[in-house]
Amino acid sequence: AQKVTQAQTEISVVEKEDVTLDCVYETRDTTYYLFWYKQPPSGELVFLIRRNSFDEQNEISGRYSWNFQKSTSSFNFTITASQVVDSAVYFCALSGGGYNKLIFGAGTRLAVHP
């Protein structure tokens, strides 16, 4: 069975703090894809990153960075120097179950205070 666990339900930080959102996944597939999505209060899911199971290279995009470790089945997301606009619910998702449907975690609500 495939499963995504985001153990942190809510995180509250003050602006400019760094914050890491954890994601642990389970799958028996050898080829799979991992995603992070952002859901602001407007409700739309915004795609942030995709990583395939053969690419463990970490990625940095501006203030965002992702750490993929197959050995621990984790795909963590770090926001450096957080801003109020980063406040949203962040979802980690896994794909590999045929037709590329996504299995989402329960999400982590991030609140960044001025």
Partner 1 sequence: DTGVSQNPRHKITKRGQNVTFRCDPISEHNRLYWYRQTLGQGPEFLTYFQNEAQLEKSRLLSDRFSAERPKGSFSTLEIQRTEQGDSAMYLCASSFDTLANYGYTFGSGTRLTVV
Size of the site for partner 1 (CB under 8 A): 25
Is 91 among the residues that bind partner 1 (CB under 8 A)?
yes
- Smallest distance, partner 1 to C-beta of residue 34, A: 10
CA distance 107 to 114: 23
Is 99 among the residues that bind partner 1 (CB under 8 A)?
yes
Is 47 among the residues that bind partner 1 (CB under 8 A)?
yes
- Smallest distance, partner 1 to C-beta of residue 90, A: 10
CA distance 1 to 54: 20
Q: Which of 19, 93, 110, 112 touches partner 1 (CB under 8 A)?
A: 93
107 is written with which tokens? 């999400």
**Interaction site with partner 1 (CB under 8 A):** 4, 33, 35, 37, 42-47, 50, 52, 91, 93, 95, 98-107
